[in-house]
Amino acid sequence: MSTRRPIHAALTATAVGALAAATLAAAPAAAAPPDGRGTTELRVATYNLSLNRNAAGQLVADLETGTNDQAQTVAEIIQRVNPDIVLLNEFDFVEGGVAADLFRDNYLEVSQGGADPVEYPYAFVAPSNTGVPSGFDLNNDGVVGGGDDAFGFGLFPGQFGMAVLSKYPILEDQVRTFQNFLWKDMPGALLPDDPNTAAPADWYSAAELNVFRLSSKSHWDIPVDVNGNTVHVLASHPTPPTFDGAEDRNGLRNHDEIRFWADYVRPGKASRYIYDDKGTMGGLKPGESFVILGDQNADPLDGDSVAAAIDQLLDHPRIHDPLPTSEGAVEASALQGGANLAHRGDPAFDTADFNDNAPGNLRADYVLPSKDLRVLDAGVFWPLQADPLSALTGVFPFPSSDHRAVWVDLRVHG
């Protein structure tokens, strides 16, 4: 559901200031009008802010106070990045958008650490598959119930959910959600196999596959009106490719959750099988602009994801990879050592701090625009330890999140 409210004060760009100058380029003007050529500069970001809680209602209780330390810290990071559109991963779903409203009112619209407040008059939240009981023994441990037997792992419905905040209007009547799309309905789905039987792809029974949803949270297509130009915000948060066994059920699901967007943005036969929660078939139309956002839980070279899972997007003919980097990630990899020393990928691209333990730090979070959107700049909010703003990201146990905010500046053509 979308929530909308009037802007009570003029929106201004975040004044990053001297402390952040080495960390973050100046953000484009908020909700800026198009220039004389009919184009708009747009900053889009994704941030897994780990604001999920362990019990239903706990997030609302924390956000009602306006003084929760973690919420203040992640809000300051968002204020300093100052995106025009941002996807929040691991933000518990609360009916009616209550949590999103509280986060905006009590944290984002209040200066945190001297940063300028930021106002998002538009938001979208919707139910998540996390914590929704399936009624089946999906992990095959002989017991039905618990987070691992939900459609997406969670201790209560909506845990680890998502929210999209925007300075530009969300076209509410055109939003598409794919919470109920069944995994088996994807042609060539990588359904997991029980290694203890001779039958193929039989980890899940036929009865389970008839209800098993592809999305561990959901997939959302949220069209945003950017000064008369529509940009489709494609938001998701695939399951981590871990916490399973030899059948690799989570790794295979992660691969196909990523594949969903690769098919969705390819017009014609490739996306013809897709249906949304209202029964409308197909993906994007040719020429439509989009940005894929989210913690994809997949690194191109390292970690536990299925080989080439994220390459389905990075090598896609319609997608541009801006390759955002940070100096802080390079520093963290060197200081932590351990598993990071064996990585094949350049640590400059890392977006998640998993310390020196397996799998080490990874590139997990992505902002991937369509090629018709010109990339102006990109980065990861991961300051060097010498930068006072590094207190916002910190080291384990993190004051904010084990993930970093990733942003890309785009030029949207009229």
**Per-residue model confidence as pLDDT tens digits over 77-127:** 999 999 999 999 999 999 999 999 999 999 999 999 999 999 999 999 999
Count structural domains, the chain.
1
Which residues on neighbouring strands pair with residue 224, listed in sequence order? 170, 231
Q: pLDDT over 70 for what percent of the chain?
A: 92
Q: How confident is the model at residue 20 (pLDDT cuts 50, 70, 90)?
A: very low
- CB-based burial of residue 293 (10 Å sphere; 0-12 exposed, 13-18 middle, 19+ buried)? buried
CA dihedral (203, 205, 209, 213) in degrees, to 10, reads -50
**Per-residue model confidence as pLDDT tens digits over 113-124:** 999 999 999 999
- Comparing 1-5, 156-160, 300-304, the range with the smallest average pLDDT is 1-5
Residue 90 sits in which domain range? 2-412
Specify the DSSP class assigned to residue 29.
P
Extended beta strands in 98-185, E state: 122-124, 162-166, 176-177
**Per-residue model confidence as pLDDT tens digits over 207-229:** 999 999 999 999 999 999 999 99
Nearest to 365 by CA among 264, 269, 293, 275: 293
- The CB density around residue 291, as the number of other CB atoms within 10 Å, is 27
Query: Is pTM beyond 0.85 here?
Result: yes
- Comparing 16-25, 201-210, 259-268, 370-379, the range with the smallest average pLDDT is 16-25
Rg (CA), the chain: 20
- How much is the average pLDDT of 54-64? 98
pLDDT of residue 18: 32
Nearest to 81 by CA among 118, 111, 39, 113: 118
Both structure tokens of 322? 């801006």
Q: Is the pLDDT reported for residue 16 higher than 60?
A: no
- Rounded to whole angstroms, the Cα distance separating 349 from 376 reads 17
Q: State how far the alpha carbon of 160 is from the alpha carbons of 50, 91, 155, 199, 414, in Å.
A: 8, 6, 10, 34, 36
Q: What is the CATH number of the domain that holds 233?
A: 3.60.10.10
Nearest to 287 by CA among 269, 310, 268, 272: 268
Both structure tokens of 137? 């023994």
Please compute, for residue 214, the number of CA atoms within 13 A of its CA located in the half-sphere on the CB side: 27
Both structure tokens of 130? 């996390």
SS3 21: coil
- Across all residues in the chain, what is the average pLDDT? 93
Extended beta strands in 146-259, E state: 162-166, 176-177, 220-226, 229-235
pLDDT of residue 126: 98
SS3 247: coil
Instruction: Give 221 or 414, the one with higher predicted confidence.
Output: 221
**Per-residue model confidence as pLDDT tens digits over 226-285:** 999 999 999 999 999 999 999 999 999 999 999 999 999 999 999 999 999 999 999 999
Q: Is the pLDDT reported for residue 33 higher than 80?
A: no
- How much is the average pLDDT of 343-355? 96
Q: Which residues of 295-325 are buried (b: 16+ CB within 10 A; e: fewer)?
A: bbbbbbebbbbbeebbebbbebebbbbbebb
Nearest to 194 by CA among 185, 186, 204: 204
Q: How confident is the model at residue 5 (pLDDT cuts 50, 70, 90)?
A: low
Query: DSSP letters along 195-223, please?
Result: TTSSSSS-SS-HHHHTT-BS-SS--EEEE
